Amino acid sequence: MNPKNEYRYSYLTWEEMNDAIAMQKVVLLPTGSTEQHGPHLPLETDAFLVEAVCMEAGRQASDSILVLPTISYGLNMHHIDFPGTIHIEPETFIAFCLNITKSVAYHGFKKILLVNGHGSNGPLVDLVARKTVLATESLCAAVSYFSLAMEAFKQVQDTKVIAHSDEFETSLYLYLAPERVRKEKALPGSDVVGKNLSSDSTSNYPVRFNDFWGRWTKTGVHGDPTTATPEKGKVIFHAAVKGLIEVVDEWRKWPISERSDQHEGPVQSKIRW
Amino acid sequence: MNPKNEYRYSYLTWEEMNDAIAMQKVVLLPTGSTEQHGPHLPLETDAFLVEAVCMEAGRQASDSILVLPTISYGLNMHHIDFPGTIHIEPETFIAFCLNITKSVAYHGFKKILLVNGHGSNGPLVDLVARKTVLATESLCAAVSYFSLAMEAFKQVQDTKVIAHSDEFETSLYLYLAPERVRKEKALPGSDVVGKNLSSDSTSNYPVRFNDFWGRWTKTGVHGDPTTATPEKGKVIFHAAVKGLIEVVDEWRKWPISERSDQHEGPVQSKIRW
Amino acid sequence: MNPKNEYRYSYLTWEEMNDAIAMQKVVLLPTGSTEQHGPHLPLETDAFLVEAVCMEAGRQASDSILVLPTISYGLNMHHIDFPGTIHIEPETFIAFCLNITKSVAYHGFKKILLVNGHGSNGPLVDLVARKTVLATESLCAAVSYFSLAMEAFKQVQDTKVIAHSDEFETSLYLYLAPERVRKEKALPGSDVVGKNLSSDSTSNYPVRFNDFWGRWTKTGVHGDPTTATPEKGKVIFHAAVKGLIEVVDEWRKWPISERSDQHEGPVQSKIRW
Amino acid sequence: MNPKNEYRYSYLTWEEMNDAIAMQKVVLLPTGSTEQHGPHLPLETDAFLVEAVCMEAGRQASDSILVLPTISYGLNMHHIDFPGTIHIEPETFIAFCLNITKSVAYHGFKKILLVNGHGSNGPLVDLVARKTVLATESLCAAVSYFSLAMEAFKQVQDTKVIAHSDEFETSLYLYLAPERVRKEKALPGSDVVGKNLSSDSTSNYPVRFNDFWGRWTKTGVHGDPTTATPEKGKVIFHAAVKGLIEVVDEWRKWPISERSDQHEGPVQSKIRW
Amino acid sequence: MNPKNEYRYSYLTWEEMNDAIAMQKVVLLPTGSTEQHGPHLPLETDAFLVEAVCMEAGRQASDSILVLPTISYGLNMHHIDFPGTIHIEPETFIAFCLNITKSVAYHGFKKILLVNGHGSNGPLVDLVARKTVLATESLCAAVSYFSLAMEAFKQVQDTKVIAHSDEFETSLYLYLAPERVRKEKALPGSDVVGKNLSSDSTSNYPVRFNDFWGRWTKTGVHGDPTTATPEKGKVIFHAAVKGLIEVVDEWRKWPISERSDQHEGPVQSKIRW
Amino acid sequence: MNPKNEYRYSYLTWEEMNDAIAMQKVVLLPTGSTEQHGPHLPLETDAFLVEAVCMEAGRQASDSILVLPTISYGLNMHHIDFPGTIHIEPETFIAFCLNITKSVAYHGFKKILLVNGHGSNGPLVDLVARKTVLATESLCAAVSYFSLAMEAFKQVQDTKVIAHSDEFETSLYLYLAPERVRKEKALPGSDVVGKNLSSDSTSNYPVRFNDFWGRWTKTGVHGDPTTATPEKGKVIFHAAVKGLIEVVDEWRKWPISERSDQHEGPVQSKIRW
């Protein structure tokens, strides 16, 4: 084992970590969820998928990536009517992730990237990235892995709504771990749909609205997993991994400029917010 | 004055409020900002514009809309290098708005809509809407007014980047209050741009990243205000107002179904999160 | 428009704000409420009245005053039995205002003044002022506008109890916006009164006690609005404006001395509280 | 010892506490401070004096009073330049006291009274009382012991400013524990004084302002202790005790009425704030 | 009175406090509880006993000890089924104590020791000590007084379980204040006992578990107070005092070394956690 | 795959979760750390070891155990001088775990067990267990896996101090994943040792004290890993697994009794703490 090629953050010793800092690897924090995914997918779906993408990206680009241990829990109260779902309050999730990014920044890593696998964590990782930028000398950004594969997926996509336990996620799971997919249980779901919003408004709706899922589904599926195949999953996986490595490369080269202050007088920079 | 046609929430007395609740008007909470808007627009831009849209929607649809007093402050630390900018911590902004939506829900209003005018408030109002749904028996959603006008604006749009103090906002301001626009000071801005992200990533980038603005601009403009005209502003304004009324109509009719619980045994519904 | 004579904080651009800082204008933050005001006054009463006073003071003393956008919401749970009342938790109100005062201090304004219009915000603005002094290099104080007019009001006062939706507030509203006063609905209120306290103890009682208003009134009035007149309102208004300008003048000249430390040894000044 | 005549809350066993609840004694919570009191008084002054008053009131009216253990720490950052001063953040102080009042209410006591001995705790105990009323079925009020003795003190008062380590506090200490007063070190203090405010604005100023004491004093005295005598202290003590018992009597008889709700429709009473 | 020999922190003036800092006395913070202690001991038991031990240690070693006013309240919700018990939320208790230790550190005291008398405060004072070390330049540790007497007590111990209102606590109380012990009410208690845990797991069990006491006892006793005697209490008291002085001596001499940093590159030491 | 024999919580679907609830499996939450472990062990040590023990216990007792995804981060600021260490603030760690245990309780699991692998998480998991008991109808306990193996380890133990990256942890790691142990880098560590405390006081010291590790070590080892062997690791592993299954069996049978209330009058059970 050559520690310089190790991409799993927590496999390193503190001595080897000094090398990783010197190499200015980009530190990835995968954020997932433990949450109902319909009758055919396990609760771990979001955490498993995002971790798989990050790990493969790390394996392929081990000189520029370090992958932190996955956050397996996220914002999920709206799924609570489905057994097993674990909910983390948004403020707690943000604070937990921010402690991690601050620690990473403290040690001298300048580029951090949250890689998200759970839709409802979206506003949270956005805020973690913002807060890290404001609180440290490092830069932090956030990306949902599925957004990096959506373009490629469109080439093979058969059903329209991509939301949760759908053609997209089921295909990816079938490619990565078919033995854990209860394929025979897969059924199309459907939420209440309007013109400007739906009961679990996906990002193409202008209005943000997420109702309790117990109000509109008894299966917990949003989208249609019945057309999922491992082949589609393969397309998704490789597009996501390739996209993530591309983002990492761009991120590594990103400048960290000096702030230019537009005040003519002095500012009170010691204020604690 | 007929109180039933009054659309300003705080113009009513508590007795008249009983009527408004009975009518199940949709309660709008405009959320803005007090923040640098380049050398040509006042700090109030976001608050002023979103309030103008909400008020006009209320005027036109006074039987279905009540507009709360505007929240004039938002998340802005990334603009702090520009004099006058006011920053509210995200947790504080969320808690403040949530107290308002809970109060409104307490009184019996079933449909609440946050109407946002400041891009960086985006993840915050999303979370306020989610938390209100989870904490009350009412429904709450969030929409940024500019997303409702973007389609119409594209018909008249001349410059590419729509972000901040740009062709869009300056046109709308010119239409509504030209006397407060320092038009001669308007200059195009420019942020650091990559393929997957830019230094103030607008929503069409997959990666969420917002750097300190002092790191990449000395004017505080992102986009190009020089081609702004009041005529374009008129297009924006009427599209936004029309879009907002349309959303309100859809929202009023939205069902609030019973939650169906998928547990075979009892749940501990008294837990306090 | 000469920006140096502009008194509305958010009407300035960031460039003009540099001038305002150089002039060391006193920054006023009006704090109001959205809360029942009996059957004859709108919910906006406290916010409307305090803003009117601040704006007029700003207009008259535009070289020394900048007025921030009003905080329209305050501590009101004790009024929650009356429809429409909006409640903000005290900790949230304090944190929100403190973010504003810290921002203002950051930019270099040395003198900040919270101008309060809602009695129950009293202990809150006191704490915001204290915390701003302790957390920044600027000075911050708080005053309730009505305390500045009480002396003058006594010359025209006909009823004894001055508390809420009473002769004082109704008169002032009648002077400023009679079209929004439902004068025919005005009725005297009355709380439970003892020697040392009453059910909404006003400041002349030694004991602080504020019961749920639903426990002692069905109208929401405390005091007697029936004798209110616009003439009395005029007296109040001009006294409050004059008093506020006087306070501002005194405040501008107030010294900010060095702290002299009485420790013989070193202190640990870097502790974060 | 007859437990029914015991007035010290924590001297009872849990069995005896059932009797005290049945008797509906008023529960007093003394709140003090550990903070510089000039060169002549110990840091414990506020805690010691308020506890002495409560204990004597309890002794005299043991059938209607239970005195909780004193809170010996309060809001004091503005005194931090003087060695030994202990500071509690306002939110922490409020939360701590509120846990106590909620516990007391839980057990069934209906009337709680915070008795304060430290001026800067004023807005805090006011908020604790308010929050207790809003969060429990009991009533809670707050009073500063010195306000109950001020009338009587005026008969013997020689110096004008009553604020901190002054004629009032020093006299009372001299009466209760002369051996701990370093009388020879007593010197008059003086703060920066204006018309509407002073650097530690006492309650007769309309403007609330509390500067760091290190900015205006090197002794930590505000007022003049040189004319203090034990005789004056005796007057103060007996007036405070008498006043407190009178407040307790009035408080015990205070009605707890049903809340009458003014909503025509149902309210969402289960919302968690 | 010679201030240098005064061991009660709050009996000093701020001038004398400078001497105490120069002497680098160890500052003790006694933490107790107000909580049911069975039918035979008062609610104050934990606070009274720990304060007695600290005061006697201070008296004997007045040149090296300063004792702060006792915290009389602690974590007790599990005792809430017994009348009079006061509960403080753990986060609030920690924050309150931490404000005290930070204040003490600010003034220049380098060694702080929390002396705990209430078992359930154990994890809390551990965290206060840790957080003080991490947040200041001083060192802070925590010890429960009873652990310092356990060795000596074993010589006279007759009953097996030492937990709450038992042979240990009752003996100590009998030695210090027999007039407040309702000896005739003392009865043995008993919790649900397993191999690895019990319903109020004392520290010799590997599993940490604390059930609501109402689930397993109607007396509130855990252990057996019937064999308690003042003689045993004397043994405990003198062992605890001796042990505490020994700890203080060791603590005073403890080195505060420079931190050696193992990073090869720079760290971001200004991050605010 | 038979879902009833599946012991990994997140491998189940929500439908299968209903069966697991009906079986009343004990839900284990492994809590670890990402933190320096000397020059010879990876940062993941605590998380890896505790997860391995839980997984093996789950495999062996799959009808009574469900293992949640591991919390890989814990309280570590005192290790921050060693590169790579991730720190979570204690309040954040507690809140995060508590959200998980509340979710698990919500779904109807009655017995929850936190299994800890990181010494400094000790007071935190204790508090999470306590708070879960107080906030839900389920029972929650906490145990550190190493305490379950200590008895067996003593049979093979060669070095005295068992603390961190020592004979114990290194042996266990060597047994489970020797390829990740940099054995040649293992060196004995040593902290500053006194009679009552040491600079990282292990549980056999009466005084709780944890200094910054940078103050007393340059290797990050506490104890002596040089005598570690996989054979010793095997002894530890099987003892820990066996002990954990034994605890689970005892825990499953533990009674959840009704609370008996000792108040003679009514209590206010609706108070929100």
Q: Calculate what percentage of chain B has a pLDDT beyond 90.
A: 96
Using a CB–CB cutoff of 8 Å, tell me whether D193 touches chain C.
no
Set of chain B residues whose Cβ sits within 8 Å of the Cβ of F14:
262
| CA distance to partner chain F, nearest, from residue A58 (Å) | 17
Does pLDDT of E1 surpass 70?
A: no
| CA distance to partner chain C, nearest, from residue B21 (Å) | 9
Whole-angstrom Cα distance, residue A149 to residue A168?
10
* Reported confidence tier of residue A233, pLDDT bands at 50, 70, 90: very high
pLDDT digit string, tens, across residues B215-229: 999 999 999 999 999
The reply to whether residue E135 touches residue C264, judged by beta carbons under 8 angstroms, is: no
Average of per-residue pLDDT across C61-70: 98
The reply to whether residue E21 touches residue C264, judged by beta carbons under 8 angstroms, is: yes
| CA distance to partner chain F, nearest, from residue A28 (Å) | 13
Torsion of Cα atoms, A240 then A245 then A250 then A254, to 10°: 110
CA distance from start to end of chain F: 45
Using a CB–CB cutoff of 8 Å, tell me whether D96 touches chain F.
no
pLDDT digit string, tens, across residues B93-146: 999 999 999 999 999 999 999 999 999 999 999 999 999 999 999 999 999 999
Using a CB–CB cutoff of 8 Å, tell me whether C260 touches chain E.
no
The reply to whether residue D269 touches residue B136, judged by beta carbons under 8 angstroms, is: no
The reply to whether residue F106 touches residue B262, judged by beta carbons under 8 angstroms, is: no
Does pLDDT of D111 surpass 70?
A: yes
Decide: residue F14, CB within 10 A, 0-12 exposed, 13-18 middle, 19+ buried: buried
Alpha-helical (H) ranges within chain D are 14-22, 45-60, 90-106, 122-135, 145-154, 167-176, 230-253
Set of chain E residues whose Cβ sits within 8 Å of the Cβ of C267:
106-108
* Closest CA in chain D for residue B105: D268
* Closest CA in chain E for residue F243: E196
Using a CB–CB cutoff of 8 Å, tell me whether E15 touches chain D.
yes
Set of chain C residues whose Cβ sits within 8 Å of the Cβ of A262:
14, 18
Using a CB–CB cutoff of 8 Å, tell me whether A264 touches chain C.
yes
3-state secondary structure B215-249: HCCCCCCEECHHHCCHHHHHHHHHHHHHHHHHHHH
Tokens of F186: 């293992």
Does pLDDT of E45 surpass 70?
A: yes
- In this predicted structure, what is the pLDDT of residue C56? 98
The reply to whether residue E206 touches residue F143, judged by beta carbons under 8 angstroms, is: yes
The reply to whether residue B10 touches residue C100, judged by beta carbons under 8 angstroms, is: no
Q: Calculate what percentage of chain D has a pLDDT beyond 90.
A: 96
Does pLDDT of F203 surpass 70?
A: yes
* Reported confidence tier of residue A266, pLDDT bands at 50, 70, 90: very high
Set of chain F residues whose Cβ sits within 8 Å of the Cβ of E118:
none
* Closest CA in chain D for residue F269: D106
Average of per-residue pLDDT across E75-101: 98
**Residue among C42, C148, C31, C146 nearest C90 (CA):** C31
Facing A268 at nearest CB: one of C14, C18, C106:
C106
Chains with at least 3 CB pairs less than 8 angstroms from chain F: A, B, D, E
- In this predicted structure, what is the pLDDT of residue A3? 85
> pTM for the whole thing?
0.98
Facing F99 at nearest CB: one of A14, A42, A89:
A89
pLDDT digit string, tens, across residues F58-107: 999 999 999 999 999 999 999 999 999 999 999 999 999 999 999 999 99
- In this predicted structure, what is the pLDDT of residue B190? 86
pLDDT digit string, tens, across residues D139-192: 999 999 999 999 999 999 999 999 999 999 999 999 999 999 999 999 999 899
- In this predicted structure, what is the pLDDT of residue A2? 83
For chain A, give the mean pLDDT. 97
What ipTM, to 2 d.p.?
A: 0.98
Residue C182 DSSP label:
-
Average of per-residue pLDDT across D230-234: 98
Q: Calculate what percentage of chain A has a pLDDT beyond 70.
A: 100
Tokens of D196: 């509407």
The reply to whether residue B21 touches residue D264, judged by beta carbons under 8 angstroms, is: yes
Cβ(E182)–Cβ(E154) below 8 Å = no
Tokens of E199: 């319903």
Using a CB–CB cutoff of 8 Å, tell me whether D154 touches chain C.
no
Does pLDDT of E71 surpass 70?
A: yes
CA distance from start to end of chain D: 45
Using a CB–CB cutoff of 8 Å, tell me whether B88 touches chain C.
yes
Using a CB–CB cutoff of 8 Å, tell me whether D254 touches chain E.
no
Does pLDDT of B237 surpass 80?
A: yes
Decide: residue E266, CB within 10 A, 0-12 exposed, 13-18 middle, 19+ buried: exposed
DSSP chain E: --GGG--BGGGS-HHHHHHHHHHTPEEEEEE-----BTTTB-TTHHHHHHHHHHHHHHHHTTTTEEEPPPB--B--GGGTTSTT--B--HHHHHHHHHHHHHHHHHTT--EEEEEE--GGGHHHHHHHHHHHHHHSSSEEEEEEHHHHHHHHHHTT--SS-EEESSHHHHHHHHHH-GGG--GGG-------B-SS-BTB--TTSSSB-B--GGGT-SS--EE-GGG--HHHHHHHHHHHHHHHHHHHHHHHH---PPPPP--SS---TT---
Does pLDDT of D228 surpass 80?
A: yes
- In this predicted structure, what is the pLDDT of residue D1? 63
Average of per-residue pLDDT across A80-87: 98
Using a CB–CB cutoff of 8 Å, tell me whether D260 touches chain C.
yes
For chain B, give the mean pLDDT. 97
List residues bridging with F242 in a β-sheet: none
C-alpha separations of C90 from B205, C75, C126 in Å: 39, 6, 12
Interchain CB contacts (distance < 8 Å): D and F: 33
Using a CB–CB cutoff of 8 Å, tell me whether D194 touches chain C.
yes
Tokens of E125: 């004072």
Decide: residue B178, CB within 10 A, 0-12 exposed, 13-18 middle, 19+ buried: exposed
Facing E107 at nearest CB: one of C267, C272, C273:
C267
Set of chain D residues whose Cβ sits within 8 Å of the Cβ of E42:
10-13
* Reported confidence tier of residue F3, pLDDT bands at 50, 70, 90: confident
Interchain CB contacts (distance < 8 Å): C and E: 33
Cβ(B165)–Cβ(B225) below 8 Å = yes
Using a CB–CB cutoff of 8 Å, tell me whether A260 touches chain C.
no
- In this predicted structure, what is the pLDDT of residue C3? 85
* Closest CA in chain F for residue A100: F86
Does pLDDT of A1 surpass 80?
A: no
* Reported confidence tier of residue F2, pLDDT bands at 50, 70, 90: confident
* Reported confidence tier of residue D2, pLDDT bands at 50, 70, 90: confident
pLDDT digit string, tens, across residues E157-209: 999 999 999 999 999 999 999 999 999 999 999 899 999 999 999 888 999 99
Residue B153 DSSP label:
H
pLDDT digit string, tens, across residues C199-247: 999 888 999 999 999 999 999 999 999 999 999 999 999 999 999 999 9
Chains with at least 3 CB pairs less than 8 angstroms from chain E: A, C, D, F
List residues bridging with D116 in a β-sheet: D31, D144
| CA distance to partner chain B, nearest, from residue F138 (Å) | 9
Orientation angle between helical segments D230-253 and D45-60, nearest 10 degrees: 60
Set of chain F residues whose Cβ sits within 8 Å of the Cβ of D135:
271-272
The reply to whether residue A209 touches residue B139, judged by beta carbons under 8 angstroms, is: yes
Tokens of D254: 């205070």
The reply to whether residue F218 touches residue E247, judged by beta carbons under 8 angstroms, is: no
| CA distance to partner chain C, nearest, from residue E163 (Å) | 36
Cβ atoms within 10 Å of E63's Cβ, excluding its own: 9
